[in-house]
Amino acid sequence: MTAPHPTATPADARRRGGGSWSLPLVLGGVALGGAVMLALRSPHVAGSYGFCPSALLGLACPGCGGLRGTYELVHGDVAAAWSYNPLVVLGAPVLLVLLARWFRDAVRGEVPWSPPTWAAVTVAVGLGVFWVLRNVPALSAHLGPLAIP
Amino acid sequence: MSYPPPPSNGSNDPGDGEPRYGARLPEGQQPQQPSSQQPPQYGAGSDGFGSPVPPPANPYGDAQPGSEQQFGGPPPFQQQPYGGQPGFGGPSPYATGSNPTQRNALGITALVLGILSVVLFCTTWVATLIGIGAVVVGIFGLSAAKKGMASNRGLSLTGVILGGVGIVASIITLIVVLQSPEFAEMMQDFN
């Protein structure tokens, strides 16, 4: 017989049968609330969400243009969203699918899916590459908000 | 679920139930008897926090009318040897002793926080806080993977590394911004 786990608690027992479905629901609600907030309060107005210190650096970090890009995405303009921040265009559907799958797994009582390590490393390396490339003057017109006044 | 003594068994200590059940079982089930003496790890519901009193051999016994157990009502005696052994059942979600994916949420959380801290590093102190969160959660995830309670050690490690990069980059950004003449001008404009 396999030895019973000595520190198992009912919370652990609940967790092993699948996670809570409320957390993905809350995160989805936060995402929806953010989209509504962006639709109501445009990030195109300077200072509407504070100022980003990177404006003083003259460099674009990977998240620069993220709010404006999400604003355009919420309003259905994918091309404009890409010109502000391609990460938003690429990442938003991935995040929505992951949230939906997390919620489905939790409702079914299955263990939530965990992405493989190579995917995480690919995302991490891709972030670094994107960060460098969008600051290359020849490419920033395609990858970053710097070319947009 | 609590363990009040069954009304008709009140004078017996829990171990007395064992030979009474064993005497009525067919021979083929005898070797499985000792395992039913163990505390029901996952069948115990909300009472699993290490109660000092050893639970009775039948974890579901208190759900049955106690007086009928003495006269050999078939359902309690048939079900007890199987229901009381959490270690043997295959497909039951409560059956495995130590689930290797139990704490996988730590690795995923560390990864998400690490990505956020790198993406948002130009927000300086916000990214620093997020990065600290990524490192802390990731270290917990690495510890859980070491204990065999998480299978995604790579995600935790990636989260820790990304969180560290985010912390360093955001602090450098903060220092550079605070020392820049443009920042001084901006502060004067605010005032």
Q: Which structure tokens are listed for A33? A: 């609330």
pLDDT band, very low/low/confident/very high, at B187 (cuts 50, 70, 90): confident
Chain B 54-113, residues with CB within 8 Å of chain A CB atoms: 85-88, 93-94, 96-99, 101-102, 104-105, 107-108, 111
Q: Please give the pLDDT value at position A84.
A: 87
Q: Please give the pLDDT value at position B58.
A: 47
pLDDT at B179 over 90: no
| A72-97: average pLDDT | 89
Chain A contact present for B45, CB below 8 A: yes
Point out the residue among A52, A116, A127 whose CB comes nearest to the CB of B118.
Answer: A127
pLDDT band, very low/low/confident/very high, at B139 (cuts 50, 70, 90): very high
Whether residues A1 and B35 touch (CB distance < 8 A) is answered with: yes
Chain B 109-148, residues with CB within 8 Å of chain A CB atoms: 111, 114-115, 118-124
Whether residues B93 and A16 touch (CB distance < 8 A) is answered with: yes
Ramachandran angles phi, psi of B165, nearest 5°: -60, -45
> Crossing angle of helices A66-74/A86-108, nearest 10°?
70
pTM of structure? 0.60
Helix intervals (H) in A17-116: 22-40, 54-57, 66-74, 78-84, 86-108
Q: At which residue do the structure tokens 């265009």 appear?
A: A89
pLDDT at A137 over 50: yes
Q: How far is A59 from chain B (nearest CA, A)?
A: 9
In order of A13, B20, B40, B72, B166, the CA distances from B78 in angstroms are: 25, 13, 17, 10, 60
Whether residues A61 and B121 touch (CB distance < 8 A) is answered with: yes
Q: Please give the pLDDT value at position A147.
A: 57
Longest dimension (CA), chain A: 69
Distance, CA of A12 to CA of A5 (rounded, Å): 10
Q: Which residues does A61 contact at the CB level (< 8 Å), separation at least 6? A: A54, A131, B119, B120, B121, B122, B169, B173
Whether residues B120 and A61 touch (CB distance < 8 A) is answered with: yes
Q: How far is B80 from chain A (nearest CA, A)?
A: 17
Distance, CA of A19 to CA of A105 (rounded, Å): 8
Q: Please give the pLDDT value at position B102.
A: 74
